[in-house]
Amino acid sequence: MHHKVQPALEHYLGIPGSFITLFILIVGLALFFYIIYKRYLLLKSANPDPRFDSLWRRFYDLIIYGIFQKRQPRYLWIGILHIMIFWGFVVLILRSIALYGLGLKAEFILPFMGGSPGEFYHLFKDILEIIVLFACIAAILRRAISRPARYEFKHGKAHKFHAYLVLGLISFLMVTDIAMDGSGTLLGEKSDYWLPAANSVSYLFNGLGPDTLKTIYLWNYWLHILTLMVFLNYLPLGKHFHIITGIFNVFLSKLKKGSIKPPRWGVENIEELDSLGVDKVEDFTWKHILDFYTCTECGRCTDNCPANIVGRPLSPMEVTLKIRDYAYESNPIFNLKGKADSPDQNLHLIGNVITPDEIWSCTTCGACEEECPVFIEYIDKMVEMRRHLVLMESRFPPEIEKIFRNMEVYDDPWGMGRALRTDWAGDLKIKTITEDSDIDLLYWVGCAGAFDDRCKEVAASLVRVLQESGVTFGILGKEERCCGDFARRTGNEYLFQVLVRKNIEILKKCKVKKILTSCPHCYNTFKNEYPQFGGEFEVIHHSEYIAELIKEGNLKLSKELDKTISYHDPCYLGRHNGLYEAPREILKLITGIKTIELERSRDRSFCCGAGGGRYWMEEYGKRINETRIDEVIEVKPDIITTACPYCLIMLEEGIKAKEEVSGELKALDIIEIVEGTI
C-alpha cells in the first residue's frame, strides 16, 4: 500500500504547485550540471592516468570501502557518526526524489516504495532520520566544543563554515521531512503502521486547525525540496564535494600501493617530454585532481603523518587543500568580471602555493594514504613535485647533491663503488651468479647491506642462516647496483631509469627468476616498479623466506631466548606491501620469547624517518626516529627488532640519543634473532 500521507501532497499543491516544483527541479539541476561541467573541464585539462584495469577488484573495493565505509571506524566515534549520516542521507534521498515526483504526478511512485516494501522503507527512513539528526548535532558539537587538533590548520585556510553549513542543511532536511509526515498524519492521512519520529512530532501539532496544519505541511514540502537543491549545488563548491566524488575516487584508487607513477603515462622515453614533474595544477593527472575534489578535511592524514607529528612543516591535508583552493580560484565557476581578473593560471605551485620544505619533509611512509577514508593519493604528488625541483630547476637539499653524484659515478649512494660490493662477505664463501648460475635464488644484498657497517652484520647473518638451511643461493657481487629507490623517491627519475635498465639487463642475462632481499626498499622497487620497465621477477623478503624455512622444517630453532621483544613494522614492508605476519610468525616460533606490540603497529606503524630519501637529508628539531624510540620505551622491551636495514640504523641512532636506555635496549634485525637461536 502507499504511504498514507502522500495523497495530501497532490491535494494541496494543485497545478500551480506542480509548475513551481518543476521550475525548482529544472533550474536546480541545470545549475548543478553546469557546475559539474566546469569542474570536469579542470579534470580534462590534466594529464592522463589509466584507472580502469582490474574492474572486479575495483568493484570489490567500492563495496567494502565506498558503500560499507570500512575505513571510517579507524576513528571509532566520529567514524560511527559518519556512517550514520552517510546511510541515513542515502535512504532519505529516495524520499526526496519521491517528493519531487509526487509534486509533478499524483501517481508517481518509486520501485519498492509501494506495498509491503514501501511500509518497511518508510519505517526504516523514519528511524534513520532520528539517528541522522542525532549524528549531525553530535558532529556539530564535537567540532565546536571538542575541536580535535586534526581539524585545525597550521599553515592554510580552514573551511569550518562549510562543515557547519552542510551538517545544518542535512539536519534541516531531516526536520522538514519529519514535520511533513507529522502534520500529514493529523490531516487525516493516518498511517497503518508506526512511525516513531512522525508520530512524536504529531503530538506537538495536536490541537492545531486544518488550515494551520496544511500550511505547516506545504511550507515543509517547499523548504525540503528547495534545501535539497541548495545542498546539491553547494556540494561542488565546498569541501563536501566528496559526497559526490568519494565513490568514484574509491573505485579509481591505485591498486599497486608501493609503486610510483611514471612521469607520463604512455610515454616510455622521458627524453620526449618537454617538462617533468608538477609545478602547475594541470601538470597533475586527472585522478589527482579528483583527489583534490574529494578531500573531506577530516585531518586523519595529517594526524598520522610522522613529519607533521615531530613539527615539520608538512600537513598532507593542507597541501591538498591549498592546491585545491588555488585550482578553484584559477578556474572559477562564475567569472562575472572576466577571465583577466581571475588569478594567474600560470602561477608556479612550488614556492607560491606549496613550499619546498613541505615537499622535502615527506618520508613517503604511506601513513596518510592508509588512513584516508576516500583513498586520496599523496606520495605520487610529492614525488612529482620533487621531479620538477630536481630535473627542471636543479633545486634540492644540498646534502643529496653528493648522493646523486655517488650514484651516477659509483652506482651506490655511499660512493664506495662496485669493486667493493663483496667486501662485506669476508670468508663466507658465497657463490656469485656470474660464476655459477646453478642456484635456487639470488640474494640481492642492497647498498646498505654491502656498505653500512651495521647492516653488513645483518647481511652476513642472513647468509649464515641460509647456509645452515642448505639453500643454494648466490649474489651478483660486483655486478650489483643500487635498485634506484632513493633516486626515484627524491625525484631524480633520469638516474632511477638508468639504474633500472642496467639492473634488468644483468638480471635477465643471468636468467634470474627469484630474488631474495633483506631490504624492503629493494623488495618494493623490484616487486612494484621494475615491471613498469619489463622487469618481471619473483621477489621475496627474507622474513617471508625464513618463516617458510622454519615452518617446513628446513631450519631448526634449537635454542631458547628469554627476552621481551617488540617488532617495528617497516613502512615499505607493511603499509606498501601488506607484509605484517611473517616476522611475527618467526618470533612466535622461537621458544622463550615474549612479544609485546607497540601502540603504533602494523598498518599504523610509526615511520623511522629514513624513507623517501630522508635518510640522507639533514634533520632539525625533534627527530622522527627518537619519537619512535619514545614509543618503544613505553612498552619496555629488551629488544626492538625490525626487518629493514634503514629502520635498524635509525632505531639504533634513536636509542643512542636516549641516555635512559642506551646500552640496555638493543635493536636487532629479525634474522639476527633467528641466527642466535639455531
Asked if the model's pLDDT at residue 2 lies above 50, the reply is no
Here the cell at position 657 is 640519543
pLDDT in tens, 139-198: 998 888 878 878 777 655 556 788 889 999 999 999 999 998 888 888 765 555 678 888
| pLDDT tens figures, 608-629 | 999 999 999 988 889 999 999 9
Q: Longest Cα pair distance anywhere in the chain, in angstroms? A: 100
On the CB side of 195, how many CA atoms lie within 13 Å of its CA?
30
> Using CA of residue 92, residue 97, residue 101, residue 104, what is the dihedral sign?
positive
Residue indicated by cell numbers 648460475: 437
Torsion of CA 28, 247, 85, 118, to 10 degrees: 70
Q: CA 404, CA 503: separation in Å to the nearest integer?
A: 17
Assign a CATH topology to domain 409-551. Rossmann fold (3.40.50)
Give Cβ neighbours of residue 387 (< 8 Å, ≥ 6 apart).
Answer: 263, 276, 277, 278, 491, 492, 493
Give the model confidence (pLDDT) of 244-279 as tens digits. Answer: 999 999 999 999 999 999 999 888 788 888 899 999
Q: At residue 354, what are phi and psi to the nearest 5 degrees? A: -120, 135
CATH of 7-239, one of 1.10.287, 1.10.3820, 3.30.360, 1.20.950: 1.20.950
Q: How many CB atoms lie within 10 A of CB 77?
A: 11
Residues in the chain: 678
**Tens digits of per-residue pLDDT, 91-143?**
888 888 888 887 877 667 777 666 666 678 888 889 999 999 999 999 998 88
First and final CA of the chain: distance in angstroms?
75
Domain 277-392 CATH (choose: 1.10.1060, 1.10.287, 1.20.58, 1.10.10): 1.10.1060
> What is the residue-wise DSSP string for 190-213?
--SS--HHHHHHHHHHTT--HHHH
The pLDDT tens digits of the residues spanning 536-594 come to 999 999 999 999 999 999 999 999 999 999 999 999 999 999 999 999 999 999 999 99
Q: CA–CA distance from 556 to each of 283, 552, 560, 589 (Å)?
A: 55, 10, 12, 10
- Burial (CB count within 10 angstroms: exposed 0-12, middle 13-18, buried 19+), residue 249: buried
Give residue-wise pLDDT tens across range 39-49: 999 999 999 99
Cell digits of residue 273: 617530454
Give the type of residue at 543. S
Q: Record the pTM.
A: 0.92
Question: What is the pairing mode between strands 564-567 and 514-517?
Answer: unpaired
Q: What is the mean pLDDT of the chain?
A: 90
DSSP annotation of 476: -
pLDDT category at 7 given cuts 50, 70, 90 is very low
Angstrom CA distances, 247 to 69, 72, 289, 375, 528, stand at 10, 14, 15, 10, 26
**C-alpha cell recorded at residue 103:** 509534486
The grid cell for 508 is 635477465
As given in the structure block, the three cell numbers for residue 294 are 574529494
* Residues whose CB is less than 8 angstroms from the CB of residue 360 and which lie 6 or more positions away in sequence, other chains included: 386, 396, 397, 617
Instruction: Give the helix/strand (H/E) hosting 371.
Output: helix 367-371
% of the chain with per-residue pLDDT over 90: 70
Running DSSP on this structure, what letter comes out for residue 350? B
Q: Which of 129, 139, 168, 137 is nearest to 78 (CA)?
A: 139
The DSSP symbol for 474 reads: E
| Tens digits of residue pLDDT in 281-308 | 999 999 999 999 999 999 999 999 999 9
Q: Please give the pLDDT value at position 276.
A: 94
* d(C-alpha 666, C-alpha 652), whole Å: 8
Sequence-separated (6 or more) residues with CB below 8 Å from residue 264: 47, 48, 270, 273
Element (H, E) at 401: helix 399-410
Q: Are 69 and 81 in contact (CB under 8 A)?
A: no
Residue 11's pLDDT band, with cuts at 50, 70 and 90, is low
